[in-house]
Amino acid sequence: MKTQKINVVCALRLRGMKVLSRKNKVVQIDQPTKELRAMAVEIIENIRGIRRRSGAVQFHGVTVRWNEE
């Protein structure tokens, strides 16, 4: 049985999320749903003294990422 390739950007848009960018299997969104937040890992980066928090989750082989405020 052959599986269909899912279009991740369309799937995210159908769930009401705005896609900001997509590069090398990483999709940046603005506001995740409750389900994505529940499955996500928290990423804390410190670049040149500026601390940035973000969340990320694997969704059909693609990393979906967003910035926390």
For position 2, what pLDDT does the model report?
A: 52
For position 5, what pLDDT does the model report?
A: 58
**Measuring CA to CA, which residue among 8, 47, 50 is closest to residue 29?**
8
For position 26, what pLDDT does the model report?
A: 92
For position 48, what pLDDT does the model report?
A: 92
Spatial contact of 46 and 31, defined as CB atoms under 8 Å apart: no
- Tell me the two tokens of residue 36: 């994505």
For position 67, what pLDDT does the model report?
A: 93
Q: Which residues of the chain have pLDDT under 70?
A: 1-6
Per-residue pLDDT of 3-19, as tens digits, reads: 455 688 898 999 999 99
- Tell me the two tokens of residue 23: 């590069």
**pTM to 2 decimals?**
0.80
